[in-house]
């Protein structure tokens, strides 16, 4: 697929001061003044990449990795009716975004001859969710893909132990054939268990963190297993990499996106970034972006150790659904948001509104139109309403939703996040706040070595009964 058929347009007009006013928008002079800092950040990321850092940026070029993934798919795809992903956070959100964007709606409900294996993503430990999944699958005919780079994520390990035990009961010593582990290439308990028990294994490439792993085996194996075109996905990412070489803010999509959102947050008080797709297929891409943006940029300390409490809170919304839920707040509430529209220039299906009831004002004008025409009109109306209310907004349009364009947008947003880390002067690749909650869970569940932490937590959990209402 050529880039000409899959171009991406990013329209920044409505973040500019001339559209939404100097108090809420970025002046062109501010962009010019910021250009040297943007160039410096871009050069630092490029230099660090050349030195072997930021491995996620080189994933689209890793042919050995792709060959391993395809080999595993070819070996296993005809043996199973369902695939279940056991993972959380970056181990699940990318795959869900791929599933929503590139498989038909209600994919698992399609007739067998119209789809590949069913795909289920178990990204929580809610017992009702797990029990419900058991009613949808036959474990003997299901491949369980357990994903944890560290091999110690409590939620994933708990899921894994449950399904491992279930498979052992159903299949005896043959249970290992129904498990594939995606984990660290050299260390961790999951790696050791997989080797000892004989699971299929794919490595997470060194230096690739969970939220940057969608173009690694973490996302590629489940996607390829259900028939998503991995070559086009990675081609799109490579295309975006080539389009991201320019140091000029207005010629580099990732640099422009990062710069605009940083300036709006740091100088205009837009501490909330609402990603609002006008396509259901892109809604879970917004969910994936939430983790990427929040976990990368929400940091207490700068790289020099200064307290900065950095970051911008990402929120997801869906057009047109949330025009009837959130838009009132976005239009007339606090001036603390920038809205990022995601759109497609062409839907893969079209529905024509059938004629009827033309004598009524509320329905007559719709007859003969299409649903996509109505949706595009709603998007344009929302753009205008927000802009007139002095609410900055920008729009990313994929000419079509395809494996190519999704690979490109994944890459652009990951690179933009890395660049944003430079602007905020923080480490965009760690997650100390998440680690603290993980350690708390380890302690409360009785993991050895966390006894002191457990005592501290139990003390902190004590509450004053005066401020608890118990209704009976």
120 neighbors 134 (Cβ within 8 angstroms): no
Please name every residue paired with 181 in a beta bridge, in sequence order, or none if there are none. Answer: 146, 201
Residue at token pair 């060194």:
206
Give the pairing type, strands 393-398 and 8-11.
Answer: antiparallel
Report, in this order, helix, strand and coil percent for the chain, each rounded to 5: 55, 15, 30
What domains are defined for the chain?
3-50+235-424 (3.40.50.10490), 57-229 (3.40.50.10490)
Distance CA 19, CA 81 (A): 53
CA torsion sign for 410, 411, 415, 416 is negative
SS3 182: strand
Distance CA 22, CA 28 (A): 10
Task: Tell me whether the omega of the peptide bond preceding residue 93 falls within 30 degrees of 0, making it cis.
Answer: no
pTM for the model stands at 0.95
Cα-based distances in Å from 356 to 41, 135, 364, 378: 58, 42, 7, 22
Query: What are the tokens at 19?
Result: 């559209």
Query: What are the tokens at 399?
Result: 């000419």
Give pLDDT, residue 99: 99
Give pLDDT, residue 335: 99
Helix H or strand E segment including 249: none
Residue at token pair 């050791």:
192
Return all residues near 17 (Cβ < 8 A) that are at least 6 apart.
24, 25, 26, 27, 28
Quickly list DSSP for 377-398: HHHHHHHHHHHHTT--EEEEEE
Spell out the per-residue pLDDT of the chain, length 472, in tens. Answer: 333 454 899 999 999 999 999 999 999 999 999 999 999 999 999 999 999 999 999 999 999 999 999 999 999 999 999 999 999 999 999 999 999 999 999 999 999 999 999 999 999 999 999 999 999 999 999 999 999 998 889 999 999 999 999 999 999 999 999 999 999 989 999 999 999 999 999 999 999 999 999 999 999 999 999 999 999 999 999 999 999 999 999 999 999 999 999 999 999 999 999 999 999 999 999 999 999 999 999 999 999 999 999 999 999 999 999 999 999 999 999 999 999 999 999 999 999 999 999 899 999 899 999 999 999 999 999 999 999 999 999 999 999 999 999 999 999 999 999 999 999 999 999 998 888 888 888 888 888 988 888 888 888 889 989 999 999 9
Return all residues near 472 (Cβ < 8 A) that are at least 6 apart.
none
Enzyme catalytic residues: 295, 324, 438
Give pLDDT, residue 463: 92
C-alpha gyration radius of the chain:
24
Strands of the 142-147 sheet, one edge to the other = 118-122, 82-86, 142-147, 179-184, 200-204
SS3 226: coil
Helix 93-102 vs helix 217-225: crossing angle, to nearest 10 = 40
- Identify which of 461, 462, 443 has the alpha carbon closest to the alpha carbon of residue 453: 443
Give pLDDT, residue 453: 86
Alpha-carbon dihedral angle through residues 187, 193, 198, 200, given to the nearest 10 degrees: -60
Burial letters 155-171, b for 16+ CB under 10 A, else e: bbbebbebbbebbeeee
Residue at token pair 């329905």:
363
Distance CA 204, CA 368 (A): 51
Give pLDDT, residue 1: 34
20 neighbors 390 (Cβ within 8 angstroms): yes
Give pLDDT, residue 254: 98
Quickly list DSSP for 27-67: -HHHHHHHHHHHHHHHHHHHHHHHTT--GGGGGGG-HHHHH
Give pLDDT, residue 4: 44
Give pLDDT, residue 445: 86
Distance CA 74, CA 156 (A): 26
């Amino acid at each position: 697929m050529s880039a000409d058929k899959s171009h991406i347009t990013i329209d920044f007009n409505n973040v500019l001061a001339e559209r939404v006013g100097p108090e809420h928008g970025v002046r062109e002079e501010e962009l010019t003044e910021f250009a040297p800092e943007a160039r410096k950040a871009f050069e630092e990321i490029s230099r660090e990449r050349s030195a072997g850092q930021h491995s996620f940026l080189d994933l689209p070029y890793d042919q050995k990795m792709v060959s391993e993934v395809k080999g595993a798919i070819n070996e296993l795809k005809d043996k199973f009716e369902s695939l279940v992903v056991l993972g959380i956070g970056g181990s699940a959100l990318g795959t869900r975004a791929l599933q929503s964007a590139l498989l038909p709606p209600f994919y698992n409900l399609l007739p067998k001859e119209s789809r590949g294996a069913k795909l289920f993503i178990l990204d929580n430990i809610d017992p009702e969710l797990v029990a419900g999944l058991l009613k949808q699958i036959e474990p003997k005919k299901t491949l369980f893909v357990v994903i944890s780079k560290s091999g110690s994520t409590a939620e994933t390990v708990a899921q894994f132990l449950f399904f491992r035990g279930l498979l052992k009961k159903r299949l005896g010593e043959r249970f290992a054939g129904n498990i594939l582990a995606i984990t660290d290439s050299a260390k961790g308990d999951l790696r050791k268990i997989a080797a000892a028990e004989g699971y299929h294994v794919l490595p997470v490439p060194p230096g690739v963190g969970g939220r940057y792993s969608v173009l690694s085996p973490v996302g590629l194996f489940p996607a390829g297993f259900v028939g998503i075109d991995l070559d086009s996905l990675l081609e799109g990412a490579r295309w975006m990499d080539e389009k991201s070489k320019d140091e000029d803010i207005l010629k580099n999509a990732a640099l422009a996106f990062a710069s605009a959102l940083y300036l709006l947050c740091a100088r205009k008080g837009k501490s909330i970034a609402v990603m609002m797709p006008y396509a259901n297929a892109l809604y879970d891409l917004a969910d994936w972006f939430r983790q990427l943006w929040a976990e990368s940029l929400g940091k207490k300390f700068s790289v020099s150790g200064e307290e900065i409490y950095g970051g911008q809170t990402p929120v997801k919304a869906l057009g047109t659904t949330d025009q009837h839920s959130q838009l009132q707040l976005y239009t007339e509430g606090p001036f603390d948001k920038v809205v990022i529209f995601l759109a497609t220039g062409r839907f893969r299906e079209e529905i024509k509104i059938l004629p009827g009831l033309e004598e009524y004002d509320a329905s007559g004008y719709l007859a003969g139109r299409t649903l996509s025409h109505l949706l595009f009109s709603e998007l344009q109306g929302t753009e205008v309403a927000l802009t007139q209310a002095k609410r900055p907004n920008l729009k990313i349009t994929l000419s079509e939703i395809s494996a190519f364009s999704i690979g490109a947008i994944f890459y652009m947003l990951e690179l933009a996040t890395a660049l944003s880390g430079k602007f905020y002067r923080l480490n965009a690749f760690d997650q100390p706040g998440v680690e603290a909650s993980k350690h708390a869970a380890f302690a409360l569940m009785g993991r050895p070595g966390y006894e002191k932490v457990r005592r501290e937590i139990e003390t902190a959990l004590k509450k004053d009964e005066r401020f608890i209402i118990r209704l009976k």
